Structure formats: C-alpha cells, structure tokens
Amino acid sequence: MVGGFPCQAFSIAGKRKGLADSRGNLFFEIIRVIAHTKPTYLLLENVKGLLNHDQGKTFTIILQSLAELGYALEWQVLNSKNFGVPQNRERVYIIGYLGRIPGKQVFPLKKADYQYSIPTQQIASPTIRIREATKKGYAVAYIGDSINTSFPTSTMKRGRIGMQIAHTIMTKKCYATLTKNKKLRYITPLECERLQGFPDCWTKVGVDTQGVTVSISDTQRYKCLGNAVTVPVIRAIITQLLLNKN
C-alpha cells in the first residue's frame, strides 16, 4: 500500500494543529484501511515537520498506531533534489513491513548517483532584487532561480529565492523565474510535472465519472502536482525494497 495523508496540519507553513485538524485526522482513515486489508508492505509520505510536531508526540502516535497493527517500521527524510530533479523538497518516508523487516532494511537510502548539481551562476546575466526579511532587505535573483512571488511586500518572509533550484512546489501558481528580458515568468504546469518527475502532460487530461476524457484546468494541475510525491524518489525506494525482498 502506497499513500499519504494531508500535510497542511503538520507543515511549518500552516497552523500545525496536527491530529486535531480534520485533515490530519485522515491518518486514522489510513489506519482503518490498513487494519481491514493488512497489506504486506506500507509506504507513507508526509512533510518533514511531522517528525517534530508537538515535540515528537504526533509522530510517536503514528508509529504506535502502525505497530499495533503488526508492522515493523523504518523511516528517513529524503530530498527530491538528490534524485535527479531540481526541486528542494524534503519529505519523511515511512516503510512498514507486516510482521518483521525481511533481511536488509531499505533505509538509510543513499543519494542517487544522478544527484542534481547546481550550475555556476553567470554573473553577467540579468538580475532582479527580491524583497526578503534580511539585514540587507533583499536578495538578488538570476536567470534560472526560483522566485517565490507570494507576499511581495512582506517584512517577515525569507528564502524567497531558490538559487538555480526550485522551491518545494505548492498547490498553486506562486513560483516564477527570471527571463532574459528581466521579467518574471510563472513556472508552468508542464515544468511542475518535470520537477516532480512525471512524464510531460501527465496531468493535462483526465477521465470523468462517465468515462469521458476531459481537459484538466491549470489550477487543478498545480493542485495535483503540489500534492503529489516525486516519482524518482518513490522509484528508488520501491526498487531497493524489491531488491532486499529478493
């Protein structure tokens, strides 16, 4: 079984109500499904902030709930940028084994050989100043940088520029990049697909309840991709899991 539960309840970007949040409570729906189906393996994903939410008590409850169903567990925080895509996306991945861990553990999973490397910036390229809550008051963005366009006049926001690498993509159109004409251009749904490791146009069309192929709006594509997991990370975990099984 592969799945996740809404991360907003645990993310440092939210109010962090945790399991008291209706979205965080969906974890117990996952527990209900697991108890009913008893899959041999589990793979769950959530934000890194899950580990320290409520001083670690929330994560302990999650582990205990899974252990009570008979699962041996291991977990690790992995960053998508280490698996071949230029996106800084840290997530905790939990693997569960019904009974006990067979043979070798999957984690710690080493960085992939095709780790994304940040190229040297071209100082002569166009630049733009982006307001940040730093002593200097701004940071300089170059072509190829990811720029967070949310809260442009904020006096609290830091880290609004991802240097030659994308921020963690979200469920809305809020990240841009600098063009050669010194203009900001929003990252497209196609680029978000690539940042998550999906094939091009993977989210462009879907099938409705009547079985008819329909186009998916850009708004919904941003939402789908912001809520998705990074494909190369999942592929690396599953590959190692299958190798250890054999």
Catalytic residues: 7
Annotate 27-50 with b (16+ C-beta within 10 A) or e (fewer): beebbeebeeeeeebbbbbbbbbb
Non-local (6+) Cβ contacts of 25 within 8 A are 19
From CA 60, how far away is CA 51, in angstroms rounded?
9
178, 169, 189, 8: which is closest to 81 by C-alpha?
Answer: 169
Structure tokens given for 146: 């990811």
Strands 71-79 and 90-98 come out as antiparallel
Closest CA to 126 of 72, 49, 176, 182: 182
Burial label for 87, CB within 10 Å (0-12, 13-18, 19+), is: buried
> Beta partners for 61?
none
